[in-house]
Structure 1
Amino acid sequence: MSRRCELTGKGPMTGNNVSHAKNRTRRRFLPNLQDVTLASETLGRSFKFRISNAALRTVDHRGGLDGFFAKSKDVELSDAALKVKKEIAKAQA
Structure 2
Amino acid sequence: MSRRCELTGKAVLVGNLVSHSNRKTKTRFLPNLVRVTLLSDALGQSVRLRVTAHALRSVEHRGGLDAFLLKASENDLSQKAKELRRKIVKAAGEATAAA
Q: Secondary structure at the match of 1:87?
A: helix
1:7 deviation in Å? Answer: 0.3
Q: Which residue of 2 aligns with 1:79?
A: 79
Structure 2, unaligned runs of 5 or more: 94-99
Q: With structure 1 as the length reference, what TM-score do the two structures score?
A: 0.98
- Aligned counterparts of 1:70 and 1:82: Cα–Cα separation in 2: 10
Q: How does 1:59-78 map to 2 (within 5 A)?
A: 59-78=59-78
Q: Which residue of 2 aligns with 1:25?
A: 25
- Aligned counterparts of 2:3 and 2:45: Cα–Cα separation in 1: 26
- Runs of 4+ more than 6 Å apart: none
1:74 deviation in Å? Answer: 0.5
Structure 1, unaligned runs of 5 or more: none
2:44 maps to 1:44: yes
Q: With structure 2 as the length reference, what TM-score do the two structures score?
A: 0.92
Of 83-92 and 18-27, more deviation after overlay is shown by: 18-27
Supply the RMSD in Å over aligned alpha carbons.
0.6
1:18 deviation in Å? Answer: 1.1
Aligned residues: 93
Instruction: Report which of the two structures shows the higher radius of gyration computed on alpha carbons.
Output: 2
Identity %: 52
Q: Which residue of 1 aligns with 2:55?
A: 55
- Aligned counterparts of 1:82 and 1:54: Cα–Cα separation in 2: 19
The answer to which structure has the higher helix fraction is: 2
- Aligned counterparts of 2:69 and 2:11: Cα–Cα separation in 1: 19
